[in-house]
């Protein structure tokens, strides 16, 4: 993958991969270069103000920053970590603000300082002085006073959602769907830096995404359609088996990314097309293998998408489940009799996993559930589930179906 590691497959947008280096907190926290913290604070403001995706904004900004590799890694760690812990950091500083409403740049600096003090383990004198140094002169006294108070007091978390730094609804929903123990372990795991794995061909991809591609069981010479393919990690993995992959997506920007990845890693057997997965311009019963890695709430991928937990709302889960049903209804049409359909999402909500499977059982009795092949999957109804704490991957669900050989075909 090209620096800083290429593109991460995602279901709702094109996510750039930014690798956080394990252990870099201890190495970088004593840097006396103020530029790194200044860049980090500016990035935090832009993510909030412009609703920019950190996965896209951070590498783009760092590419032209002139910072050393060490400080680039430090900026990434500061931005990603502070975004993940945003709610917790707000709690830490709001206790000592007379008026919680402060200008966005000041809020970003306070969050940044609190993150260093409580979560990064930076010595108080270094965290406070370095953060104050990049603050505008008129607010340096405020930043200094608040951060010193944060350093002197225990966190005093009011509840688990604040401590874990998630919206209330995510903690409640995950607890309902997974049980309290697994939910809290999953949320804790997604507060840690994401790991990166490089495939033999050089593409950087989360291991759980590779496992999904494996479940398609694409074979040399086989026709495969990947309906929600951008930016192309699973499609190119399937093409590596010798299969011919039609990789589609709806947005023009996403298709450009898909085409670029297909050109580099598609082995000459990946065709990128612009198409709406819910009304695919493809022949009925024309493919022995169909993959739907559907747009989803992304609750299993918060390590890579640090700001996503603050963008998604609970109503969005149901909207996405409705979209998933529409796409799957179209996907069934494309599977040839005896062929395999694979459905996956990087989330763990019942609405987007088990409920979707129940809907398929009712609406498409010509689909027979087939157990996932990998031992890494937990049993999850008729499919499989991997939680972030299981194997240091994204949280992912997968379901496999074989279409009856007696299923009728349309022309």
pLDDT higher than threshold 50 for residue 78 = yes
Domains annotated on the chain, with CATH: 20-156 (1.10.940.10), 207-403 (3.40.50.150)
> Mind listing the pLDDT tens digit for each residue in 214-243?
999 999 999 999 999 999 999 999 999 999
Closest by CA position to 158, among listed 95, 101, 99: 95
CB 340 within 8 A of CB 370: yes
- Residue 380 neighbours by CB distance under 10 Å: 19
What's the average model confidence in pLDDT over 298-309? 95
CA angle 119, 176, 312 (to 5 degrees): 60
Catalytic sites, residue numbers: 346
Percent of the chain at pLDDT exceeding 90? 86
CB within 8 A of 99, min separation 6: which ones? none
The pLDDT assigned to 10 comes to 32
Strand partners, 247: 226, 272
Give the lowest-confidence range in 26-30, 156-160, 323-327: 26-30
CB within 8 A of 239, min separation 6: which ones? 218, 245, 262, 265, 266, 267, 269, 270
Kindly report the pTM of this predicted structure: 0.89
Q: pLDDT-based confidence at 408, cuts 50/70/90?
A: low
Q: What is the DSSP track for 12-39?
A: SS-EE--PPPTTHHHHHTT---HHHHHH
Give the lowest-confidence range in 2-6, 130-134, 307-311: 2-6
Residue 331 C-beta-side C-alpha neighbours within 13 Å: 30
The pLDDT assigned to 124 comes to 96
d(CA 203, CA 181): 34
CA 5 to chain centre: 15
Q: pLDDT-based confidence at 196, cuts 50/70/90?
A: confident
Burial (CB count within 10 angstroms: exposed 0-12, middle 13-18, buried 19+), residue 58 = buried
Closest by CA position to 285, among listed 131, 404, 147, 368: 404
């Amino acid at each position: 993958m090209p620096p800083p590691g290429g593109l991460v497959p995602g279901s709702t947008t094109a996510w750039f991969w930014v690798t956080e280096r394990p252990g870099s907190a201890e190495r970088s926290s004593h840097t006396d270069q103020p530029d790194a913290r200044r860049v980090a604070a500016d990035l935090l403001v832009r993510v909030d103000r412009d609703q920019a995706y950190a996965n896209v904004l951070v590498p783009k900004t760092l590419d032209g920053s002139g910072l050393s590799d060490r400080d680039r890694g430090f900026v990434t760690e500061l931005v990603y970590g502070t975004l993940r812990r945003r709610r917790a950091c707000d709690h830490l500083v709001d206790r000592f603000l007379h008026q919680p409403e402060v200008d966005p740049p000041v809020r970003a600096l306070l969050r940044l300082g609190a993150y260093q003090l409580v979560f990064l383990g930076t010595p108080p004198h270094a965290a406070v002085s370095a953060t104050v140094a990049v603050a505008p002169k008129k607010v340096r006294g405020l930043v200094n006073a608040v951060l010193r108070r944060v350093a002197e007091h225990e966190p005093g978390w009011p509840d688990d959602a604040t401590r874990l730094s998630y919206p209330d609804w995510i903690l409640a929903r995950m607890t309902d769907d997974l049980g309290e123990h697994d939910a809290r372990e999953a949320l804790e795991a997604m507060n840690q830096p994401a790991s990166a794995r490089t495939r033999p061909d050089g593409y950087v991809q989360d291991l759980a995404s590779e496992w999904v591609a494996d479940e398609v069981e694409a074979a040399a010479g086989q026709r495969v359609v990947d309906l929600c393919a951008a930016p192309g990690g699973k499609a190119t993995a399937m093409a590596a088996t010798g299969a011919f992959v039609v990789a589609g997506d709806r947005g023009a920007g996403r298709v450009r990314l898909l085409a670029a990845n297909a050109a580099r890693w598609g082995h000459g057997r990946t065709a990128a097309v612009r198409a709406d997965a819910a009304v695919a311009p493809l022949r009925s019963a024309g493919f022995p293998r169909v993959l739907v890695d559907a747009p989803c709430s992304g609750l299993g991928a918060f390590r890579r998408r640090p700001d996503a937990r603050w963008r998604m709302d609970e109503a969005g889960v149901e909207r996405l489940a409705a979209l998933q049903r529409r796409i799957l209804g179209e996907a069934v049409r494309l599977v040839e009799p005896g062929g395999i359909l694979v459905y996956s999402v990087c989330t763990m909500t019942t609405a987007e996993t088990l409920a979707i499977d129940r809907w398929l059982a009712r609406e498409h009795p010509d689909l027979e559930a087939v157990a996932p092949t990998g031992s890494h999957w937990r049993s999850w109804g008729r499919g499989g589930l991997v939680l972030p704490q299981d194997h240091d991957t994204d949280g992912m669900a997968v379901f496999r179906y074989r279409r009856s050989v007696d299923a009728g075909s349309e022309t």
